[in-house]
Structure 1
Amino acid sequence: MSKVEALRKEIDKLDAEIINLLKKRVDLAKAISEIKKEEGHPLYDPLREEKVLKRIKKLALKKDLSLNEITWIYRKIISLCRKAEGENVKVAFLGPAGTFSEQAAKRFFFNAAATFMECPSIPDVFRAVAVGDADFGVTPVENSLEGSVNLVLDLLLNSNLKVFGEIEEKITHNLIVKPGTKIGEIKMVISHPQALAQCRKFIEENLHEAKIKECSSTALAVKIAKKIREAAAIGTELAAQIYGMEIIAKGIEDWPNNYTRFFVLSKIEAKPTGNDKTSIIFSVKHKPGALYQALEVFAKKQINLTKIESRPSRKKPWEYLFYCDFEGHKEDSPYNEALKELKKRCAFMKILGSYPKAQ
């Protein structure tokens, strides 16, 4: 037997051991899922997943193994275990298929054995989770260029759903056409008004003679463009794949630092991870210094506010609600003490949720 053949036999033995260990891991995961079902706990636990990956990365570093490759392998192992458990997480997103919302949802639930369901509107995403048709919902809440999605803020005020997580998705716009179409043949450009506005410079320089047509989403634009000769859509890479279209220009947005923040909605609350955010809504009495006194709570406890904005309360003219995000989890100190003190100083306060910061 040659030295190479001897070493290959050792590799074969190791492969057999790896398969046996994977089977043991799957069996343990099944046992845990049965206990969770008996005790009424949710099967999906992203916090546990992050802890596993964090620990594995440390072990990989000690053995001088590629972090990216090991992380990819373990994500697949986690996915294998979830499928064996019979876990099937239902995730609602703002459709149609191929939107940035779907891209964000699939990235967040990358390792889950998930079924994705498209909803025609943002209220329908909230409704799907509220009535139990979906376990989670993904909806845009804020764009780095355009600001907040006011409808989502209003729905959060009246909903019992919790913010379970957040996703930051880089917005990359692409010029999408029927396969074989050249840029000089394009006579119509279709997309969502925001996407058209964010690609104005590219359109003026390359498609200044083309007719502009607005529609309700970038994914719908791709769907429409597929049916019209000499038309192009501005949309996602995912939409191009779904509808069998071709991207002839990538990254055509005027501003490269364009991100949309999405909320993951659920009936369950996220556990502390040590790297969290909390979102709240509050209002103060209409008197001098009331807002200062409310915000003083955070300053005294050295809590970093990452966002604050006002919205009309719609109850009285010129009465406002304040939407605020801060670093920390509501169950941890000093954040829980700050919230108790804030409640005393406010006319109204609602905690929307504490959740892991976007990765």
Structure 2
Amino acid sequence: MTRIAYFGPEGTFTEMALLQCQDLAARGAMSVPGFDLVGAERISAPSQVAALQMVSDGAADLACVPIESSVEGPVTPTLDALGFGAPLQIFAETDLAVAFSIASRVPLAQARTVGAYPVAAAQVRAWLAVNMPQAQVVPAASNAAAALDVAEDRVDAGVTTALAARMYDVPEVATGVADVADARTRFVLCGKPGPAPARTGSDCTAVVIDVPSRPGSLALAMAEFALRGVDLTRIESRPKRTVFGSYVFHFDCVGHIDDPAVGEALRALHRVCDELRFLGSWPRPGGPGTAPVDPGDSEVWFDGLRRGER
């Protein structure tokens, strides 16, 4: 049986994202070569890093972890684990609308403490200031743990998920809570390196690069994509942890490693970078950016020139 670790405990948005992946797989809309997503065993892990480490250690086949929030930006523990840890690869992704529930056994106006995972607290700060100004925010270990803290009377209210509120039998006194409407978070399924899923024509490719420490190195690396018409959709810098002021860069681009333009860009990057880590090519239906141009017409034209045709 396929084992999938996820950032737990039960009731978190990450478990909800994993359940969504399994539902997509059941409908034939998602797959990871060699693994049964539908019948997979779900294994809770205490952190994103722990979930990914379970894959590296062989305790799980895949891991489901958040990688980017439309409100808070990159999930840096995930980026760092993928960028510096044992080699892992992204095989699939999904995204989830993120709106919270306030779970409590007392009315909002009577709550003196509200438990919240720090990332969640940042996404509902304004709502809490307006609707629960008297409540002190108390850090929770996760979104689901905030509901458990209410159930066990450690706090009066919790910023949590609807799934966790039901799981711990705590009433939802407010739903759809978010400072930013339509907030979403991307989640990825990661495993040990292997063949990428087949090209679909609506794909994403991710790499981590370490460029030489000289003027223009990053610009030259980015130019390898631009010159080939490959759209970069995300660039993040992360400290290398070895020398102060030195960084690696995470690139996401539109396209698949089997797209000629993307393949050419990756080969060129390998020549100019000190190190390049391939994080995968996978389907991303409806993702941002413009698909790379198929160079087929220019290849036909060039072959004609070589044959003496004008």
TM-score scaled by length of structure 1 = 0.71
Shift of 1:102: 0.6
Evaluate the alpha carbon distance shift between residue 290 and residue 226 of structure 1 in structure 2; reply closer, same or farther with a 3 A threshold.
same
The total of aligned residue pairs comes to 270
Shift of 1:229: 8.1
Structure 1: distance between partners of 2:254 and 2:111: 47
Shift of 1:204: 2.0
Tell whether 2:19 aligns with 1:106.
Answer: yes
Residue correspondence of structure 1 range 231-310 to structure 2 within 5 A? 231-267=156-192, 268=194, 269-310=196-237
Structure 2: distance between partners of 1:115 and 1:150: 26
Q: Would the aligned equivalents of 1:174 and 1:249 in 2 still touch at CA under 8 Å?
A: yes
Q: Would the aligned equivalents of 1:175 and 1:252 in 2 still touch at CA under 8 Å?
A: yes
Structure 1: distance between partners of 2:249 and 2:119: 26
Q: Tell me which residue corresponds to 1:163.
A: 90
Structure 2: distance between partners of 1:330 and 1:251: 39
Tell whether 2:68 aligns with 1:142.
Answer: yes
- Alpha-carbon displacement from aligned partner over 1:142-163 (angstroms, at most 9, x marks no partner): 2222222222222112322211
Larger radius of gyration: 1
Tell whether 2:20 aligns with 1:95.
Answer: no
Correspondent of 2:112 among 171, 187, 194: 187
Structure 2: distance between partners of 1:105 and 1:261: 11
Correspondent of 1:204 among 129, 139, 156: 129
Describe the SS at the equivalent of 2:260: coil
- Alpha-carbon displacement from aligned partner over 1:8-61 (angstroms, at most 9, x marks no partner): xxxxxxxxxxxxxxxxxxxxxxxxxxxxxxxxxxxxxxxxxxxxxxxxxxxxxx
Letter in 2 for 1:122: Q
- Alpha-carbon displacement from aligned partner over 1:198-224 (angstroms, at most 9, x marks no partner): 222222222222232111211101001
Evaluate the alpha carbon distance shift between residue 296 and residue 225 of structure 1 in structure 2; reply closer, same or farther with a 3 A threshold.
same
Q: Would the aligned equivalents of 2:69 and 2:184 in 1 still touch at CA under 8 Å?
A: yes
Structure 2: distance between partners of 1:253 and 1:121: 23
Residue correspondence of structure 1 range 314-329 to structure 2 within 5 A? 314-329=241-256
Correspondent of 2:270 among 318, 343, 346: 343
Describe the SS at the equivalent of 1:154: helix
Correspondent of 1:227 among 148, 152, 159: 152
Unaligned runs of 5+ in 1: 1-87
Describe the SS at the equivalent of 1:277: strand
Give the structure, 1 or 2, with the largest relative contact order (CA under 8 Å, sep 6 or more): 2
Q: Tell me which residue corresponds to 1:39.
A: none
Shift of 1:184: 3.5
TM-score scaled by length of structure 2 = 0.82
Structure number with the higher helix fraction is 1
Correspondent of 1:354 among 259, 268, 281: 281
Structure number with the higher strand fraction is 2
- Alpha-carbon displacement from aligned partner over 1:243-291 (angstroms, at most 9, x marks no partner): 1122121112111132222221012432222211011011221222222
Q: What RMSD in Å do the two structures reach over aligned CA positions?
A: 1.8
Letter in 1 for 2:11: G
Unaligned runs of 5+ in 2: 27-37, 287-310
Correspondent of 2:78 among 149, 152, 175: 152
Once the two structures are aligned, what percentage of the paired residues are identical? 32
Letter in 2 for 1:255: V
